[in-house]
Amino acid sequence: MRSLLLCFVLSGGCTLFAGEFALLASGARLYADRHEADAAKVRLYNGTGFVELDASAVKGFELEDAVPPPAVQPAIRPPEVSAQPPASPRELADAAADKYGLPRELVRNVMAAESGFLTTVVSRKGAIGLMQLMPETARDLGVDPGDPAQNVDGGTRYLRDLLLKYDGGLRHALAAYNAGPAAVDKYNGVPPYAETVNYVGRIERKLKRDQAAEINR
């Protein structure tokens, strides 16, 4: 299969690219800082980690909009401004969705199902806050689950990684977010746990209602 590596020659200015979107064969469109590929495998890098996919699962790539370098400004004392109010849960969800190339409605609905948009709720198993990160998962992601912005960013990144792991399969990714990847891999799909089956179905139904409402506007 033809190599998926994209090569760019930059001349003249110093234009920077913030990242790119991987276009999966399943139709998903996922954000990555960069990628490496050969005839068999594609690696999608984010931060210090990466996810490896079969090359056949990736149709191509789209660059994120070019980001021009900041203009040099004379040093001046900025005017004093009042502190901005903290972002709302929905604003945090939308910002994280945009950052990782996921639909805003998906991240919002996962947050609603997990915590009801609350920052302080803790599950019986110890999952914390907005997108209900377990402490060990938060450690693996390098985020503070008690900080709303870090919690939502980490949860959305984890959801994006699960979508990559399951080649864009939404049901598998949602089930793994709820019950863990080990359970999904064991049953090769949504595990037969009532909580997980209801969780996946509830989010899927809400996404369909949101899509129908958007079409009818």
Per the listing, tokens 């699962």 go with: 57
**Residue 114 among the catalytic residues:** yes
- Which residues does residue 162 pair with via DSSP β-bridges, in sequence order? none
Catalytic choice (36, 91, 105, 114) = 114
Report in angstroms the alpha-carbon separations of 177 from 9, 24, 42, 134, 138: 40, 20, 23, 11, 13
Do you know the residue count of the chain?
217
Report in angstroms the alpha-carbon separations of 82 from 56, 68, 79, 85, 165: 51, 29, 10, 9, 43
What type of residue sits at position 154?
Answer: G
Catalytic residues: 114
